[in-house]
Amino acid sequence: MGRLKTFTRRAFLIGSVAVAGGVAFGAYMVNKPHANPLLDNLGDGEAALTPYVRIDADGVTLITPRADKGQGAYSVQAALIAEELDVELDQVKIDPGPPSPAYWNTALADEAATFMAPGGGVGESIAYGALSAVMKTIGMQITGGSTTVPDGFVKLRQAGAVARETLKLAAAQKTGAAASELRTEAGRVLLPDGSSLAYAELAPIAATIDPPQDIQLRAPSEWRLIGKPMQRVDIVAKSTGTQSYGIDHKVDGMVHAAIKLNPAQIGPLIGFDAGEALKMRGVSKVVAVTGGVAAIADNTWRAFQAAEAVEAEWGPAPFPATMDEHWQALADSFTEDALDSRKRDDGDVEISIAETGEIISAEYRAPYLAHAPLEPISAIVRVDDDRAEVWTGTQIPRFIQNNVGKIAGIDPEKVTVHALYMGGSFGHRLEDEVVKQAAEIAVQMKGTPVKLTYSREQDMSHDFTRQIAMAQLRGVVRDGKVETYDLGIAMPSVVVSQMSRQGLSVPGPDSQIVAGAWDQPFTIPNQRVTGYRAPELAPISSWRSVGASSNGFFYNAGLDELIHAAGADPMEERLRLCSNPEARKVLEAVAEMSGWDGVLGDGRGRGVALTQSFGVHCAEVIEVSNTEYGIRIDKVWVAAEVGTVVDPVNFDNLVKGGVVFALGHAMNCEITYTDGIADQSNFDSFQGMRMYQCPTIEVRGLENGDRVLGIGEPPVPPAAAALAGAIFAATGTRLREMPFSKFVDFA
């Protein structure tokens, strides 16, 4: 861990290479003598350039390798480069770049190493091996874990700064002026005589100059973009119907495919009869793919209709037939044998519980959930004898190269991946089944680009869902205070399920099982958090905030039960227990914003929750009313500590969106399986929040910390617990299982 961190902080140098008609600037990864799994594929003395800035006769292109699935990643990456490069965002092109092992996500590597090596020692070395395998395969070009900003905050600004200074040297060489007298602005170098040179003109000279390395990044007081409201680079296109997404993409000569998968999740195809389908207008072909059949037609709708018309025989799903059995499997996992991690064990929980007559205990549940971004998944794949091309919206371009290469029987480096805009993800596009299936079809139709579009029903019912999870808590209170909190959490391993689909096994404990619970900023005399590994059930995947999405609810709602038993106030007792200064400021902020002062009365109630996830302390206060139509969520106050808010507008939008996302699912969403078949397959039975249910939300970003952190996920984990606390305050009903609509109505 220490070595990796040292490496990530220090070892990137900004270099340049000549490209056709210009120059590209980026981070060099130099092979250091110390072992680092990121660099195993580099030989001695070799270096790889990660370009972030390309300047040629056409102008300036900023390369933004982290995928934009709606969170504004392209804008924020471009702004970080532009801050130092002195270009305006409306002057530049933005390109996600090709997949490359060079676009390593060091912030996620840190996160992954933490995840894999919780205890150090033997665990660490085993975990290191697993980490190495994963990283080699994907080159760590992965978007996730709220890491885009932490990963790029220094690297991207440094690329911009080095490029700027090199361009100044080029201008000095060309004009004879002293570099120290040159300034830069809006994509031009300004000369002392008042004239100026465009960066594009200087690019060929810049390509011949060794970039200077000792450049001081600008102080925050000099920032012209960071911390100020920015216009997203895609906002006009997204407001005029002119933004093209993956599902809109066209390639010359392409055919449309639709899929009918075994309704029983990941069950096999046994046989099929395409007779009726092949008679339908525009339908040219029906082929088998892994776990299903695909119909090929000349239009998306015709392909949908034809896929539906195929008669197929299916095998069973490889997991229990009823939800009762899924829950039982979790309940049966609270055993020493299934103990996965005990990363927190303060005081002595057992003695405290043995010594007291009154134990508070409860069981909590969180259901499977679909990701369901509004754009259904799609991919275009063309396979030729010695190469393949993929067009899709993805967070894992390197996995796709490998998988398509395998299916097509070609070298992964011969697979070109074009990353397209995504209509949401929430973790959905960390999977690539749609690409693999499109490739399976495409190898049966070589030379023809095949566009596979999922129907909403196929997408939702065959999603790899959020983990199902269960928590058991025990606690003791004394003298109006929380004395003992023992929380056990059982779930299957998300990472094992997800990586198994990439052919990778991940040994060691999975810290996602206790994420959002073991590492919370509350000091309680006796506190223990234990993770239990449930067996694999339905296939699961990373869902916005992963383990913390269920555990933020468990930890906070359980704490609320103890605080209530102690007769204390949920905010005051949290403040008393809070032992981290940053977290305390976050709690104080929401207390102040909401004017928290005890009981509201009149059928109204407030709840509070704080979760630290992805390094971010995020606290929320929620206020509800108990109306004749049910519970109405009136107001939400959110405060989060992120070190530096890069774009206050996007920050505000992402926090509000995270709250709406979390509350909508807590209110009314679950995926349940009967005989392996999802009982929900569209937005009629999996609704989320609608406009009339949306509360007013007030957001405050705090900047007390010295680490710059991402905000995509952290607003999600505390929301359900704050809502449950508010409903308890308003009605006296304690909700211990999501979705809450099973127990209360929502107005």
Partner 1 sequence: MKLTVDGKIHEVDVEPDMPLLWVLRDELGITGVKYGCGIAQCGACTVHVDGYAIRSCQQPVGDLEGEVTTINGLGTPDALHAVQAAWIEHQVAQCGYCQSGQIMSAAALLAENPNPSDEDIDDAMSGNLCRCGTYPRIREAVKTAARTVRSA
Q: For partner 1, give the closer residue by CB, 320 or 739.
A: 739
299 binds partner 1 (CB under 8 A): yes
Residue 114 burial (CB < 10 Å; 0-12/13-18/19+)?
A: middle
Site for partner 1 in 218-237 (CB under 8 A): 229, 231-232, 234-237
Q: Work out whether strand 677-678 and strand 673-674 pair parallel, antiparallel, or are unpaired.
A: antiparallel
Helix 433-442 to helix 397-408 angle (10° resolution) is: 30
Q: Are 337 and 479 in contact (CB under 8 A)?
A: no
Site for partner 1 in 300-329 (CB under 8 A): 300-301, 304
Side-chain-side CA neighbours of 21 within 13 Å: the count stands at 8
In angstroms, give the least distance from the CB of 281 to partner 1.
6
Q: Are 673 and 326 in contact (CB under 8 A)?
A: yes
Q: Work out whether strand 196-198 and strand 415-419 pair parallel, antiparallel, or are unpaired.
A: unpaired
Residues whose CB is less than 8 angstroms from the CB of residue 354 and which lie 6 or more positions away in sequence, other chains included: none
User: What tokens appear for 330 in the block?
Assistant: 């979790």
Q: Are 446 and 383 in contact (CB under 8 A)?
A: yes
In angstroms, give the least distance from the CB of 70 to partner 1.
3
User: What tokens appear for 524 in the block?
Assistant: 């309680």
x-or-dash string of contact with partner 1, 237-256, rule CB under 8 A: xxxxxxxxx-xx-x-----x
In angstroms, give the least distance from the CB of 249 to partner 1.
9
Site for partner 1 in 369-388 (CB under 8 A): 372-376
x-or-dash string of contact with partner 1, 627-666, rule CB under 8 A: ----------------------xx--xx-xxxxxx--x--
Number of residues that bind partner 1 (CB under 8 A): 64
Q: For partner 1, give the closer residue by CB, 194 or 241.
A: 241
In 3D space, the residue among 256, 231, 252, 234 whose CA is nearest the CA of residue 243 turns out to be 234
Q: For partner 1, give the closer residue by CB, 364 or 454.
A: 454
Site for partner 1 in 445-464 (CB under 8 A): 455-457
Q: For partner 1, give the closer residue by CB, 67 or 289.
A: 67
x-or-dash string of contact with partner 1, 87-126, rule CB under 8 A: ----------------------------------------
Q: For partner 1, give the closer residue by CB, 352 or 611.
A: 611
Q: What is the rounded CA–CA span in Å between residue 397 and residue 379?
A: 12
Q: Work out whether strand 283-289 and strand 292-297 pair parallel, antiparallel, or are unpaired.
A: antiparallel
Helix intervals (H) in 361-450: 397-408, 433-442
Type of residue found at 479: D
Cα torsion through 50, 55, 56, 62, rounded to 10: 70
542 binds partner 1 (CB under 8 A): no
Residues whose CB is less than 8 angstroms from the CB of residue 53 and which lie 6 or more positions away in sequence, other chains included: 24, 25, 26, 60, 61, 62, 63, 81, 85, 159, 160, 163
Q: For partner 1, give the closer residue by CB, 6 or 696.
A: 696
In angstroms, give the least distance from the CB of 696 to partner 1.
7
Q: For partner 1, give the closer residue by CB, 173 or 653.
A: 653
Round to the nearest angstrom and report the end-to-end CA distance of the chain. Answer: 49
295 binds partner 1 (CB under 8 A): no
Q: Are 278 and 238 in contact (CB under 8 A)?
A: no
554 binds partner 1 (CB under 8 A): no
279 binds partner 1 (CB under 8 A): no
Site for partner 1 in 675-734 (CB under 8 A): 682-684, 687-692, 694, 696-697
Site for partner 1 in 469-488 (CB under 8 A): none
x-or-dash string of contact with partner 1, 54-83, rule CB under 8 A: ---------------xxxx-----------
Residues that bind partner 1 (CB under 8 A): 69-72, 229, 231-232, 234-245, 247-248, 250, 256, 281, 299-301, 304, 372-376, 422-426, 455-457, 649-650, 653-654, 656-661, 664, 682-684, 687-692, 694, 696-697
